[in-house]
Amino acid sequence: MKKFIRISLILVVMLVLLRGYIFRQVVVYQTVGHRVSYPITNPDLKAYLNAHACLSEHCSETEIVNRALTLTADHLHFTAANNSVDPNRLYETQAAHCVGYAAFFTTACNYFFKEKGMDDTWTAHQHIGQLLCFGLNVHPFFSTPFFRDHDFVIIQNRQTGEKIAVDPNMYDYLYIQEISFR
């Protein structure tokens, strides 16, 4: 019995530590469309982002992405209800589904890039996606319109073409920072 408990505990710890790697191997996001970006019009949202901006003069794109993910996860909570997807409104309501999470993150990320003078090099774009689990599209298995797609964000270096994909929802719930996409 002790051996079984020890092996089970080791497996659980490995799953927790390798959750990002395992997720990226099992789930791939496929872009099926794009969404527009929102400019910041809410002074409270702008103040919130300024209060939590990277203070270092030389913030890397990774630090900016991680900061935007953390702020999005800290400020929003998930809801399946139909609500606004405009980050300016989401700052007030704090309730969002995947579209709102991705919009809030995209706006925060692009704002930080602009503030650090990196917007000529780096940009974040919100994508409408389909989740492929072991290569199989999972969306047809759900009958509600809520599960017809799932939004995520691709951060791209305009000069090198390097791309980083994130799902702010997965970060909020599982602390998975990068996802696989095609």
When divided into structural domains, the chain yields a total of 1
Q: What is the DSSP string of 83-138?
A: ----HHHHHHH-EE-HHHHHHHHHHHHHHHHHHTT-TTTEEEEEEEEEEEETTEE-
| Residue 147 DSSP class | G
Establish if 74 belongs to a structural domain: yes
- Over the stretch 107-148, which tens digit does the pLDDT of each residue have? 999 999 999 999 999 999 999 999 999 999 999 998 877 788
Establish if 15 belongs to a structural domain: no
pTM of the model: 0.92
- Over the stretch 169-181, which tens digit does the pLDDT of each residue have? 999 999 999 999 9
Residue 56's pLDDT band (boundaries 50, 70, 90)? Answer: confident
What is the span of the domain harbouring residue 148?
20-181
